[in-house]
Amino acid sequence: MDLVERWTALAGEQTRRLGEELLARYAEEHRKYHTIEHLEAVLDLVDELAGDADDPDVVRLAAWFHDAVYDPSRDDNEERSAILAERMLGDTDLEPERTARVAALVRMTRTHAPEDRDGRVLCDADLAILAAGAEDYAAYTAAVREEYHFVPEEYFRAGRAAVLDQLLGLGELFHGPTAKARFEERARANLTAELALLRTSDAAGPTT
């Protein structure tokens, strides 16, 4: 089933245009990691982790919107994505309270500090790339660097290191029982290795 069909199966055939618009957003040229492939990976994991959610379909809708607005030069993408969800879903037959839940879940992906079981599933699916194998993790970090191509290398390394420090300082990266058992250890190993590499690069100083 292609992604548009997955959207209509979730939100109804009458919303096909919205699904197509969302996919067009994930296909924007400036995206290198936050792409259709990332959306599909998150949706697949939400399906796998659905047993840990209270309302899996609301989590699926939130997954569709969680990176719908993505501009790497801004720090309010999650808020803008949540507002987009409220606007787009407000034009559908979805109950207002469920629309509000979708937007609330999208906002949780800003800090990845989920407040309930549904938030845990969404945040865990979003961060699962951190537990990827070596080749996929390297491709992920390279894609993130491409998205921030406008940031000088020295500043990018410092910013990325701060992000990794923040993540490693969390009591837990993954919150649901299934994801925690499956991803936590590998993700921490990947983050620790990447951080060590960044600090080694900094210590080496500029090259000629």
Q: Would you state the CATH architecture of domain 3-204?
A: Orthogonal Bundle (1.10)
List, as one string, the DSSP characters of 16-68: HHHHHHHHHHHT-TT-SSSSHHHHHHHHHHHHHTGGG-S-HHHHHHHHHHTTS
Mean pLDDT, consecutive 10-residue stretches, the chain (208 aa), reads 94 97 98 98 98 98 98 97 97 96 97 94 98 98 98 96 94 95 98 95 50
Distance CA 169, CA 191 (A): 11
Q: SS3 breakdown of the chain: % helix, strand, coil, rounded to 5?
A: 70, 0, 30
CA 72 – CA 149 distance, rounded (Å): 10
Rounded to two decimals, the pTM is: 0.94
pLDDT digits 0-9 by tens, 166-198: 999 988 999 999 999 999 999 999 999 999 999
**Domain map of the chain by residue range?**
3-204
